Amino acid sequence: MSKQIIDPIPYYPSYVKPNPKLTLEQYQLIQTSWNLIKEGRCQPFKVQEVISNPVGFWGLLLYETLFEMDPKLKPLFQNKLRQVEMLTEIVDSALGLLPSMLDQTLGQEQTGLDPEMIPMLLDLAERHVSYQVKAEHYGTVGMAVITALKRSLGNSFDEPTKAAWVEFWSLICSVMIPAHVKKAQEMGVEI
């Protein structure tokens, strides 16, 4: 007997709009803000001397922010190396997002994810079901990413930049959450 297909939309974070799209300007805002973090050009990094790698520093800030928002997520993360991979993947995916658009589509206003990225994100979402990740965690992690960016960049993280990151996270959710819901249903685990 085939199972009824579950609609993934109710599992989207409340801040995700139904059809997220990034403009070229938003893509550039994401890139510029990430470069400030990556190159260590933000105040919280500059005022400390303990950690020399700016991305590693931001990663710690992200996890601190995430666990402040939801301490129950802490036990899910057991492997430090994987956490670092996860962090860089999130941001790398942002930067590798729209290569074809940047190359050739100057006239095109809005776009989605690079189609080549979609299978990678679908696999990733399926693997995350085995890490005990639930659909509702996508909302928390997205907010933690945005809050950690704000904490690092202060006034440089203005409203248009924030809106660009929210849109980016919404695109990720619109691909990963449906795959998550389907896999959790197949595995018979809580969605």
Stretch that binds ligand HEM, among 14-22, 131-139, 154-162, 181-189 (CB under 6 A): 131-139
Q: Which of 16, 30, 141, 184 binds ligand HEM (CB under 6 A)?
A: 141
Q: Which is nearer to ligand HEM, 64 or 109 (CB)?
A: 64
| Residue 67 to residues 19, 62, 75, 151, 160, Cα–Cα distance (Å) | 29, 9, 10, 15, 26
Residue 110's φ and ψ, nearest 5 degrees, are -130, 155
Minimum distance of ligand HEM from residue 106's CB (angstroms): 28
Structure tokens that stand for 99 in this block = 């290569």
Size of the site for ligand HEM (CB under 6 A): 21
**SS3 at position 42:** coil
Judged by CB under 6 A, the chain residues 51 through 90 that form the site for ligand HEM are 73, 76-79, 82-83, 85-86, 89-90
Q: Considering beta carbons, is residue 15 or 46 the nearer one to ligand HEM? A: 15
Closest C-alpha among 161, 156, 155, 153 to residue 45: 153
Pick the piece of the chain touching ligand HEM (CB under 6 A) from 30-38, 43-51, 100-108, 128-136.
Answer: 128-136
138 is an interface residue for ligand HEM by CB under 6 A? yes
∠ CA(116), CA(100), CA(153), 5° rounding?
A: 90
Distance CA 51, CA 80 (A): 16
Q: Which residue, 85 or 109, is less far from ligand HEM as judged by CB?
A: 85
The alpha carbon of residue 177 and the mean position of all alpha carbons in its chain are separated, in whole angstroms, by 12
- Site of interaction with ligand HEM (CB under 6 A): 73, 76-79, 82-83, 85-86, 89-90, 93, 124, 127-128, 131, 133, 137-138, 141, 172
